Structure formats: structure tokens, C-alpha cells
């Protein structure tokens, strides 16, 4: 037969048994194998995609490890949400800083944090200790985070004089941000090593999602309500006491995954080609599904950061209400998300993760518009009913985004290994966290700029701010999150991840 003289037919088994490698993997990789023969040799497709397959099936992740690893998310999310909800408000109305300057300082600190994330991922990938590659940094990060959160809300005591020097504020904010980097990058990398089974990873993400919701409720609503109870939204000592209490909570729940993942399965290290950090970043950029996913996550984080930083202003400036009403919204949202996760997990058997995120993002965009219905003329009871309804709607769609997007991120890391043969969980995690930090960095800057341009006066009480400040708060609470969620829809719509299952490509 012309064109086939280089192929020895006796060496080809056209249909290998399931899970059995092709007898001619080298021929299958070569371009000289005739096109009419390639469909008969499944090894051609397998070896061209799976360059470094795992040598053995890892054991299932024990319940205790799933629970203790997920518990760390209560600490990370409460750590983030306390800061996101109250830092700009504290710097502006307690320390009497200009809102635009305060937003800029928070953004700069988070940008420093963002650019340190890829470096942290590279460091953990190249760490070898008796405790493993990731766990030592969980311990170090827990200690730093437990100390930095109280420091942020004690600046009126640490420096004295109002407003404090911007350089001193910047040092504390950078200390806060770097502590989160040290803990969060290795923390998010651990589940990639614990199991390669995507169903088990979805289960891991469900535990994380549940603890995230509790942490989000505590940070975004519990902390402001605690400040109100301890003295009021402009009382400096109330912020300091709240910071100490949440600092203790953070260090305890960050130590839980450190101890709980001791002895956890870690995928064996495999020989890696010598590539510079820049070369690795370039190959990551060639992973189109991952690039689209981080674009979607960036827009989501912008929406979350702007909403989180504006919520307290929405209650005090627009609705003329105290912080104590925030828990109604947070409780409704949290319990709906916790109830929604099993529902969306079941739906994951009937539809793709991509479709689930599309549904969630569209629903969140519509939910953001409902804030236009709220009025300061409503009675307290009417406002509570609205907050509960708003929390249920937002929580239902938010749980879909939370669950499916986390699992999609892990899938893109698997896709990279199949595509390149490289194990780079730490690098991918650091890039993911870098984009998360970029999104969160934009939030306080946007809120600060809009408040500063609107004539917001830090020396006036929140309820006495001018009408232009009320408009600026509504723009940050409604318009920006809606636009960001539409941006997420754009990126996820273009996302495609081939999954080779029984010879079929599934999107």
C-alpha cells in the first residue's frame, strides 16, 4: 500500500482493551503514521493529549480531610470580607481620610499582593520539607493573618492623629495583603494534589463553598453588626475590638487545615523540564480555557469587591439605616447558598459546569438591579422583607457560580497537564489568585473615586451626605456589578474545555 512502507502492521493492535496503552505509542506520536490508520489507533489521540498520565489511581479523600481543608475557607473569606466591607469606611469616616486617597491605598496594597501571588506559587512548587510543599506556608500565613487584621483596625491607636500619614497606613495594608498571599496560594493548591478525580474535587469544592458562605456572612454582616453593637459605625474603639475578635477567629480556622491535611495524599512528583518562570507563564497563557475562565473570574471579583465595599455605605448613606440590618441580608443569602449547593451539585449530573455558571451570572445581574427598588422611606419591617427576598434571589444564583466556577478552575489545570505533561498546580493557583487580587483591587479604587468625585464629606455623618454622594453609592451598588456580571457572561460563553470521555468530546 503506498505511503505505509514505514509501518509494521504486525505491531499495531487496532483496538486496545479499555485502559490499555497502545502498543505503538511512538508511531502514534509521529506524523508519518498514515491518516487512514490513525482512527484505528486510539493511542494516537491518547498519547498526544496525556503526556504524563498518573501511575496509579489515588485513594478517595477521607471525610476528615475534606472537612478540615474546607474549614480554612471560613478564615480566608471572613479575613477578606471584614476588610472589604469595613476598611474603606473605617479609613474615611473614622480616620478622616479622603475617600479617593483611601481607595487608592487599598488598591495599591492589593496590587502588591497580586504581583506577589505568582512568585508565591513558584516558591511553593519548589519547596521540599518534611511537612510537604504547601503546609509550612499555611502555618506561617496563619500567624501573620491573625496579627495583621487587628492591626488594620487599630491604626487610630498605633499612629495617633487624624488623619494618619498615608505611608504608615500603606505599611499596615501591605502587611495585611502579604499575609493572605502566604496562606491562600498554597491552601488553594492542596486539593489539586489530594485527588485527580473530578467528582471528588467537586465534593471538595462543596465543602469549601459551605464554609465560604459562613465566612462571608461573618465578615460582610457579622463584623459591621458587631461594630454597631460595640459602639456605633464611627466609634474607633469598636473597630479595634472587632478586629481583635476576628483576628483570633482567623488564626484558629487557618490552623485547622494545617493540622487536618497532615498525611494527606499528594500526587507524586514527576520529572519536569527546566523552564524559566517567564516560559511557564507563556505556556499558561496558551491555555485558552484557563485564560477565558480567569477573565470571567476577574469580572466576578470586581462585582464582589465593589458590592462588598459599598454595602455599608448603601445602608447608612442611602437607606439611612444602621449596620444591624445587614445580617438579615447576609443570613438569607448564606442559608440559600448552603441549600442551593446540593441542588446545583445534583444539577451538575444533568448539565455542564459552563451552563451552570451562565445561569448563575445572568441571575446575579438581574438581582443587582433590585437595589433600585429600595427606599429610605420604607418602614423597618418592609426593608427587612426586601433584604430577605434579595438575599434569597442572590444566594440561589450565587451558589451556582461558586460551585461550578471552582470546579472549572481545577479542570483547566488538568487540561494543562494533559496538554503539556507538566505539573504546575502552584503556578496556576498563583495566577488564579493574582487575577482575584486584581479584581478585588479595582473595587475600593472605583468606590473611592466615585465617592471622592461626588463630594462625599468625611466630616459629615453618613445620613447627612449630599444627594450627589447618594447617587455615587447607587452607581457602585447597582450599575458596576451589573456590568461586571454581563462581562462574566461574555467570557464564560466563549469558554470550551474538551473532555475526552469514552472517545467523545464533551463541552
> For the segment 146-159, what is each residue's pLDDT rounded down to a tens digit?
999 999 999 998 88
Residue 323 pLDDT class (50, 70, 90 cuts): confident
pLDDT-above-70 percentage for the chain: 80
What is the model's pLDDT at position 25? Answer: 37
Stretch 484-488: mean pLDDT: 93
Helix (H, G, I), strand (E, B) or coil at 506: strand
Residue 15 pLDDT class (50, 70, 90 cuts): very low
What is the model's pLDDT at position 475? Answer: 95
Alpha-carbon gap, residue 68 to 61, rounded angstroms = 11
Over 90: is that where the pLDDT of 358 sits?
A: yes
pLDDT-above-90 percentage for the chain: 36
pTM here is: 0.75
> For the segment 385-396, what is each residue's pLDDT rounded down to a tens digit?
999 999 999 999
> For the segment 86-138, what is each residue's pLDDT rounded down to a tens digit?
999 999 999 999 999 999 999 999 888 778 877 887 888 777 877 777 888 99
Count CA within 13 A, CB hemisphere, residue 396: 10
Residue 487 pLDDT class (50, 70, 90 cuts): very high
Stretch 323-332: mean pLDDT: 88
Average pLDDT over the chain, rounded to whole?
A: 80
Closest CA to 11 of 1, 31, 26: 26
Distances (CA, A) of 287 to 29, 196, 246, 415, 440: 21, 19, 39, 8, 23
Stretch 469-492: mean pLDDT: 94
Strand blocks (E) in 8-148 = none
What is the model's pLDDT at position 8? Answer: 40
Stretch 369-379: mean pLDDT: 92
Over 70: is that where the pLDDT of 271 sits?
A: no
Alpha-carbon gap, residue 318 to 372, rounded angstroms = 11
Give the count of beta carbons closer than 10 Å to the beta carbon of residue 280. 22
Stretch 246-271: mean pLDDT: 79
What is the model's pLDDT at position 24? Answer: 36
Over 60: is that where the pLDDT of 441 sits?
A: yes
Higher per-residue confidence, 453 vs 414: 453
Residue 11 pLDDT class (50, 70, 90 cuts): very low
Over 60: is that where the pLDDT of 53 sits?
A: no
- Lowest model confidence (mean pLDDT) among 258-272, 371-385, 439-453, 459-473: 258-272
Stretch 282-297: mean pLDDT: 83
User: Residue ranges per domain, the chain?
Assistant: 9-49, 63-267+277-506
Q: Right CATH number for 63-267+277-506 from 3.40.640.10, 1.20.1250.20, 3.20.20.70, 3.40.50.300? A: 1.20.1250.20
17: phi > 0 → left, psi -120 to 50 → alpha, else beta; which? beta
Top mean-pLDDT range of 11-15, 76-80, 204-208: 76-80
Stretch 254-263: mean pLDDT: 86
Stretch 163-171: mean pLDDT: 89
Sign for the pseudo-dihedral over CA of 147, 150, 156, 157? negative
Exposure b/e, 415-450, CB count within 10 A at least 16 = b: bbbbbbbbbbbbbbbbbbbbbbbbbbbbbbbbbbbb
Higher per-residue confidence, 170 vs 119: 170
Closest CA to 190 of 424, 348, 426, 374: 426
Question: Three cell numbers at 450?
Answer: 466615585
Question: Three cell numbers at 279?
Answer: 516560559
What is the model's pLDDT at position 461? Answer: 86
Alpha-carbon gap, residue 32 to 60, rounded angstroms = 41
Amino acid at each position: 500500500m503506498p505511503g505505509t512502507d514505514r509501518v509494521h502492521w504486525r505491531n499495531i493492535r487496532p483496538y486496545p482493551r479499555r485502559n490499555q496503552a497502545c502498543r505503538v505509542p511512538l508511531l502514534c506520536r509521529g506524523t508519518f503514521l498514515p491518516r487512514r490508520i490513525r482512527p484505528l489507533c486510539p493511542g494516537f489521540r491518547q498519547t498526544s493529549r496525556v503526556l504524563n498520565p498518573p501511575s496509579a489511581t489515588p485513594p478517595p479523600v477521607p471525610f476528615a480531610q475534606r472537612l478540615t481543608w474546607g474549614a480554612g475557607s471560613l478564615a480566608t473569606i471572613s479575613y477578606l470580607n471584614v476588610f472589604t466591607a469595613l476598611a474603606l469606611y473605617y479609613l474615611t469616616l473614622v480616620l478622616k481620610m479622603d475617600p479617593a486617597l483611601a481607595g487608592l491605598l487599598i488598591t495599591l496594597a492589593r496590587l502588591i499582593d497580586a504581583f506577589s501571588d505568582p512568585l508565591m506559587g513558584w516558591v511553593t512548587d519548589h519547596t521540599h520539607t518534611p511537612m510537604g510543599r504547601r503546609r509550612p506556608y499555611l502555618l506561617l500565613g496563619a500567624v501573620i493573618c491573625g496579627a495583621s487584621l487587628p492591626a488594620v483596625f487599630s491604626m487610630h491607636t498605633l499612629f495617633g492623629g487624624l488623619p494618619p500619614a498615608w505611608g504608615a497606613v500603606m505599611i499596615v495594608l501591605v502587611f495585611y495583603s502579604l499575609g493572605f498571599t502566604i496562606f491562600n496560594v498554597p491552601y488553594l493548591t492542596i486539593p489539586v494534589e489530594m485527588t485527580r478525580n473530578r467528582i471528588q474535587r467537586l465534593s471538595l469544592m462543596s465543602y469549601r463553598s459551605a464554609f465560604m458562605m459562613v465566612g462571608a456572612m461573618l465578615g460582610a454582616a457579622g463584623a459591621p453588626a458587631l461594630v454597631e453593637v460595640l459602639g456605633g459605625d464611627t466609634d474607633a474603639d469598636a473597630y479595634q475590638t472587632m478586629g481583635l475578635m476576628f483576628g483570633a477567629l482567623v488564626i484558629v480556622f487557618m490552623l485547622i487545615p494545617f493540622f487536618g491535611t497532615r498525611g494527606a495524599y499528594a500526587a507524586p512528583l514527576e520529572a519536569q523540564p527546566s523552564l524559566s518562570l517567564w516560559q511557564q507563564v507563556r505556556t499558561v497563557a496558551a491555555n485558552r480555557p484557563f485564560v477565558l475562565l480567569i477573565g470571567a473570574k476577574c469580572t466576578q471579583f470586581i462585582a464582589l469587591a465593589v458590592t462588598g465595599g459599598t454595602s455599608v455605605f448603601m445602608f447608612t448613606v442611602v437607606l439611612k439605616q444602621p449596620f444591624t440590618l445587614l445580617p438579615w441580608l447576609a443570613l438569607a443569602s448564606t442559608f440559600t447558598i448552603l441549600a442551593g449547593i446540593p441542588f446545583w451539585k445534583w444539577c451538575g449530573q444533568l448539565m455542564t459546569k459552563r451552563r451552570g455558571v451562565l445561569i448563575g451570572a445572568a441571575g446575579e445581574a438581574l438581582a443587582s438591579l433590585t437595589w433600585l427598588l429600595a427606599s429610605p422611606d420604607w418602614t423597618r419591617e418592609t426593608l427587612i422583607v426586601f433584604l430577605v427576598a434579595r438575599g434569597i434571589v442572590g444566594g440561589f444564583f450565587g451558589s451556582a457560580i461558586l460551585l461550578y466556577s471552582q470546579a472549572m478552575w481545577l479542570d483547566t489545570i488538568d487540561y494543562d497537564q494533559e496538554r503539556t505533561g507538566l505539573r504546575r498546580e502552584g503556578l496556576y493557583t498563583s495566577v488564579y489568585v493574582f487575577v482575584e487580587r486584581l479584581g478585588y483591587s479595582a473595587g475600593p479604587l472605583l468606590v473611592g473615586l466615585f465617592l471622592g468625585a461626588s463630594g462625599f464629606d468625611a466630616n459629615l455623618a453618613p445620613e447627612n451626605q449630599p444627594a450627589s454622594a447618594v447617587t455615587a453609592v447607587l452607581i457602585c451598588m447597582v450599575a458596576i456589578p451589573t456590568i461586571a456580571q454581563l462581562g462574566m457572561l461574555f467570557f464564560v460563553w466563549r469558554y470550551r474545555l474538551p473532555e475526552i470521555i469514552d472517545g467523545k468530546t464533551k463541552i
